[in-house]
Amino acid sequence: MATHAANSSIGDALPERIHCPTNVSLFLYNAAVWNAHRIHYDERYTIDVERHPAVVIDGPLQGDWLTQVVDEWLGDAGRMVEFEYSNRLAAMLDETLTAGGKVVSIEGDSVVLELFVRNEVGKVITPGRAVVALD
Amino acid sequence: MLSLITDEIRAWIGRSSDPVAFEVSRRDIVKYSLATQQRNEKYLRGDEAPPMFLFAADRPLQAIADLRPDGIWHDPLVPELPLKRVMAGGIKHRYFRAIVPGDMLSIQRSIVGIYEKQGSSGPLIFIEYNIDVTTEAGEPVMQETQVRINR
């Protein structure tokens, strides 16, 4: 796997990835994690009962996307030792979301990354952070 | 302002679940990897689990008839709260080693915090869990802090 990590500098942007979840992808994700919460597939219930505007994209799925940003940037150059994210704003089905990040510090073999999932208007809805140890 | 968190609710801090045994299968890794649209071949082959693979692995596989009306499982490690709607809050992970097919893991949750905040559309109650994942021999695999929000 190609890696961007080996020659990184502070401020470097990580490769971004665009995500457009569908009913099918949300179904498969929630089946894989055995989550039957109806806000992820039952539109009428989601709107009428839980008062969301549409089917909700899982917060942990967005967390997974952030790990993929790190993984695809890091390649075989090291391993992730810490990771965190916070779901600050809900995202709804049919939104196009972008996952990315940047290098914020490098100390020896330890690199700290700032991560984000942002929505179509550019608002960061899921910020995150990771620490990787380079080999 | 009157707190939503009573002494009875606060008394849940420090409680733990029984450890849950979790056997990692290649098929489960592949399912998760396809569902999350991984692009790394080692995940798609199921040779190694992606970092978020264990999300919700501590949940018992309950019968459909035992789920709540909102579809969420009955979690014995949640106090009765005045706010019923559930949202994901976030996660912190520390990784000690890769998870691979055949791993026999032990997962145990503890409540480490219960607090409330005012959200844009009303009060929110946060429950913070520590989740320790080890091998059967006690070798650390991953530590997780997970926040569940009730609104």
- The full set of domain ranges for chain A reads 13-20+58-134
pLDDT at residue B1 in the model: 61
Structure-token pair, residue A45: 């219930």
Residues in chain B with pLDDT values less than 50: none
A residues 6-65 closer than 8 Å to B (CB): 19, 25, 28-29, 31-39, 42, 45, 49-50, 58-61, 63-65
pLDDT at residue B61 in the model: 84
B28-37 tens-digit pLDDT: 999 999 999 9
Rg of chain A's alpha carbons, rounded to an integer?
Answer: 16
**Domains in chain B: boundaries:** 7-150
Mean pLDDT of A37-48: 97
Query: How many residues does the structure list for chain B?
Result: 151
pLDDT at residue B2 in the model: 67
pLDDT at residue A7 in the model: 86
Residue of A nearest to B51 (CA): A67
Q: What is the dotted CATH code of the domain comprising A13-20+58-134?
A: 3.10.129.10
Q: What is d(CA A22, CA B48) in angstroms, rounded to the nearest whole number?
A: 26
Please list the residues that pair with A128 across neighbouring strands.
Answer: A85, A115
Q: Judge if ipTM > 0.90.
A: yes
Q: Does domain B7-150 have CATH number 3.10.20.880?
A: no
Residues B141 and B48: beta-carbon distance below 8 Å? no
Structure-token pair, residue A64: 């997974």
pLDDT at residue A4 in the model: 78
Mean pLDDT of A68-77: 97
A102-131 tens-digit pLDDT: 999 999 999 999 999 999 999 999 999 999
Crossing angle of helices B26-35/A23-32, nearest 10°? 150
Residue pairs between chains A and B whose CB atoms are closer than 8 Å = 105
Which member of B35, B39, B73 has the closest CB to residue A28? B35
pLDDT at residue A2 in the model: 47
Of A35, A49, A97, A125, which to mutate for an interface test with B (greatest number of B Cβ within 10 Å)?
A35
User: N- to C-terminal Cα distance for chain A?
Assistant: 15
pTM above 0.90, yes or no: yes
Cβ distance B87 to A84 less than 8 Å, yes or no, reads no
Please give the mean pLDDT across all residues of chain A: 96
